[in-house]
Chain A
């Protein structure tokens, strides 16, 4: 089974721009979660999508948004980029049904905002 894939792997943007990141979950998985990872803050939960609906949301400003398509692929969009948005963005997939199930993480997209 192919793992979770994320594209692109690296991005450099400037302040004020917007960016879209993509995540393809493991085949059959209906849940995709997004996290922001920074050295000081660890992993912070952004949001989770399950069957095309946002099921969970973290404490991030409205500049961070996402969506999920019918094939479970998910995109995350950040508008009006700020220097503080520089981070590794991870997505994780699971079936989304059992709370004890494993999340499978992608390799991440490293975003640098200049």
Chain B
């Protein structure tokens, strides 16, 4: 069975600095998708970025980028030029491409942005 691990329950970053959130996963599958979702306080969860496992190139969305290391089964999220609005819970998620496309989420990392 697949698992997703986020080992950092909480992280802090100074405004305008860069922070990296860690995510590791375990799977025997060769093809899958990985996602980072953001859940701001009392607001709805939204997609930040996604990565296809068959693509070697790391995904980038504005200030958000990932470091995808397939062999190490690692999928970290880098937030550059951190802003106060980046404060949120961040969830790493894995989606299988075999069977029924089930999602598996990590336990989340709470990111605090310090002014």
Contacts and interface: CB of A to CB of B under 8 A. Distances in A.
Contacts of A28: none
Contact of B102 (A45, A90, A103, A107): A45
A106 interface: yes
Residue of B6, B45, B52, B91 ringed by the most chain A CB atoms within 10 A:
B45
A100 B50 contact: yes
A3 interface: yes
Given A55-B100, A105-B44, A40 B52 contact: no
Given A42-B106, A55-B100, A100 B91 contact: no
Nearest to B93: A43
A102 interface: yes
Contacts of A3: 44
B104 A45 contact: yes
Interface residues of A, number: 24
B105 A42 contact: yes
Given A40-B107, A105-B45, A99 B102 contact: no
A28 to B, nearest CB: 18
B33 A106 contact: no
A108 B44 CA distance: 8
Contacts of A33: 103
A70 interface: no
